[in-house]
């Protein structure tokens, strides 16, 4: 706790503006807040309060960093357990800094803070947080929300599907870098092809910016057109075709209740989706420095053997009719 020392400015790391890269952030100097004025309803936590953690914090209450408070609502953005520890010690005041931004901005920062330090959020708490952020920021990309919540982007994509749709799907989503990219990768690639047809000499940077794609995608489209194979890789060509009348699309593991309805299944699915790749990985080959091609190839071969081993182990257990707990 401060005792009349000069106020210092506190803010998040550079590049972490919350509202479309805007200015929402803790700002100003440290000030004293009355504990009785503070509200604790902004927290993303679903679990009961951890009394052991609160007791531990109470032992070092004077050494803890200031809490963050959304003004003028007096909502605690970061520091719920610190507030409860101060109350346990019988304090009336606590050090804090004011948060400048909307309630939605404050919630995003609350989730980010509880991922970055302190008592970590559970997997279920992170999933619920992702849904709430997506409801308020539907234009944010899955990867951007995943970075805030500590989830795989594929897991966020599943949570997005569980949110009732109250309007039209956004044509583009905004990434953590503040840049908008089309939600439909087919449309982005076709736009690159269209631009190349009109101006073959456009640089990759200008192509990517105009089409809302990555430079790697723009390069892949340019090379495909040069080879006469068209702008779409096979996976997108098949995805863009309507399914056969008597056919059924392949099952999506990320939406399989057998995996999503249990804690063990969700944990495995999060790991699995965080590590899997698709044909789009081939687009990344051109980004590897020439001097590191063989090193990356060796690592890719090593990982492919591990995946093959996992597949063989799953098949072995299936044939055996039982599953090991390890």
Interval 243-263 mean pLDDT: 57
12 phi, psi to nearest 5 deg:
-75, 170
- Summarised one tens digit per residue, pLDDT across range 149-208 is 988 888 888 888 888 765 545 656 777 766 666 666 788 888 888 999 888 888 988 888
Asked whether the predicted pLDDT for residue 3 surpasses 90, the reply is no
Q: What pLDDT shows up at residue 58?
A: 93
How far is the C-alpha of 111 from the C-alpha of 109, rounded, in Å?
5
Model pTM? Answer: 0.54
**DSSP-based three-state secondary structure for 96:** strand
Band the pLDDT of 214: cuts 50, 70, 90: confident
Band the pLDDT of 101: cuts 50, 70, 90: confident
Q: What pLDDT shows up at residue 100?
A: 86
How far is the C-alpha of 312 from the C-alpha of 326, rounded, in Å?
15
Interval 313-317 mean pLDDT: 77
How far is the C-alpha of 101 from the C-alpha of 69, rounded, in Å?
11
Tell which CATH classification among 3.90.1150.10, 3.30.70.100, 3.90.1530.10, 3.40.50.300 matches the domain 25-121. 3.90.1530.10
Asked whether the predicted pLDDT for residue 94 surpasses 90, the reply is yes
Q: Pick from 304, 190, 185, 164: which is nearest to 239 by CA?
A: 185
Asked whether the predicted pLDDT for residue 30 surpasses 80, the reply is yes
Interval 78-106 mean pLDDT: 92
Q: What token pair was written down for 156?
A: 């966020």
Q: What pLDDT shows up at residue 230?
A: 82
Q: What pLDDT shows up at residue 130?
A: 93
Q: What angle do CA 108, 109, 114 make, to 5 degrees?
A: 105
pLDDT, averaged across the chain = 77
As a residue count, the chain comes to: 326
Asked which of 109-113, 229-233, 253-257 is least confident by mean pLDDT, the reply is: 253-257
Q: Pick from 240, 230, 251: which is nearest to 185 by CA?
A: 240
Band the pLDDT of 21: cuts 50, 70, 90: very low
- Summarised one tens digit per residue, pLDDT across range 288-300 is 887 887 888 888 8
8 phi, psi to nearest 5 deg:
-120, 150
Q: Pick from 63, 55, 59: which is nearest to 2 by CA?
A: 63
How far is the C-alpha of 148 from the C-alpha of 19, rounded, in Å?
13
- Measured from the Cβ of residue 119, the count of other Cβ atoms closer than 10 Å reads 15
Return the higher-pLDDT residue of 154 and 1. Answer: 154
How far is the C-alpha of 108 from the C-alpha of 87, rounded, in Å?
26
Interval 83-98 mean pLDDT: 94
DSSP state of 105: H
Q: Pick from 66, 70, 60, 3: which is nearest to 29 by CA?
A: 66
**DSSP-based three-state secondary structure for 279:** helix
Q: Enumerate the domain spans of the chain.
A: 25-121, 290-318
Interval 126-155 mean pLDDT: 89
Interval 124-143 mean pLDDT: 89
Strand partners, 182: 172
Band the pLDDT of 324: cuts 50, 70, 90: very low
Q: What pLDDT shows up at residue 304?
A: 83
Asked whether 216 and 119 are in contact (CB, 8 A), the reply is no
Q: Is the peptide bond before 51 cis (omega within 30 degrees of 0)?
A: no
DSSP-assigned states of every residue in 215-278: HHHHHHHHHHHHHTS-SS-HHHHHHHSPPPTT--PPP-GGG-HHHHTSHHHHHHHHHHHHH---
Q: What pLDDT shows up at residue 217?
A: 84
Asked whether the predicted pLDDT for residue 124 surpasses 80, the reply is yes
Percentages helix, strand, coil for the chain, rounded to the nearest 5? Answer: 50, 10, 35
How far is the C-alpha of 164 from the C-alpha of 3, rounded, in Å?
50
Q: Residue holding tokens 């606590």?
A: 94
Q: Mention every residue, 6+ apart, whose C-beta is less than 8 A from residue 132.
A: 44, 107
Q: What angle do CA 50, 56, 58 make, to 5 degrees?
A: 100
Asked whether 134 and 159 are in contact (CB, 8 A), the reply is yes
Give Cα 260 distance to the centre of its chain. Answer: 18
């Amino acid at each position: 706790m401060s005792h009349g020392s000069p106020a210092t400015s506190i803010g998040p790391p550079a590049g972490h503006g919350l509202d479309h890269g805007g200015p929402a952030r803790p700002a100003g100097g440290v000030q004293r807040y009355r504990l009785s004025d503070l509200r604790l309803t902004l927290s993303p936590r679903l679990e009961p309060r951890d009394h052991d953690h609160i007791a531990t914090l109470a032992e070092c209450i004077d050494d803890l960093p200031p809490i963050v408070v959304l003004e003028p609502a007096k909502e605690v953005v970061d520091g719920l357990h610190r507030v409860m520890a101060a109350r346990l010690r019988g304090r009336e005041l606590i050090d804090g800094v004011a948060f400048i931004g909307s309630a939605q901005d404050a919630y995003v920062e609350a989730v980010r803070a509880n991922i970055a330090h302190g008592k970590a959020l559970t997997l279920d708490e992170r999933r619920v947080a992702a849904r709430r952020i997506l409801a308020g920021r539907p234009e944010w990309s899955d990867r951007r929300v995943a970075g805030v919540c500590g989830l795989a982007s594929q897991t966020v994509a599943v949570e997005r599907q569980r949110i009732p749709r109250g309007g039209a799907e956004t044509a583009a989503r905004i990434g953590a870098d503040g840049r908008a990219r089309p939600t439909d990768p087919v449309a982005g690639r076709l736009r690159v092809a269209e631009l190349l047809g009109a101006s073959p000499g456009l640089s990759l940077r200008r192509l990517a910016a105009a089409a809302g794609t990555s430079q790697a995608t723009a390069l892949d489209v340019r090379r495909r057109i040069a080879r006469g194979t068209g702008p779409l890789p096979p996976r997108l060509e098949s995805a863009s075709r309507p399914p056969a009348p008597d056919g059924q699309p392949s099952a999506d593991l990320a939406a399989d209740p057998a995996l999503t309805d249990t804690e063990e299944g969700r944990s495995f699915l999060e790991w699995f989706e965080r590590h899997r790749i698709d044909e789009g990985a081939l687009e990344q080959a051109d980004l590897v420095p020439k001097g590191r091609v063989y090193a990356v190839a060796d690592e890719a071969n090593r990982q492919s053997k591990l995946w093959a081993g996992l597949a063989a182990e799953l098949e072995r257990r299936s044939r055996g009719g039982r599953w090991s707990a390890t």
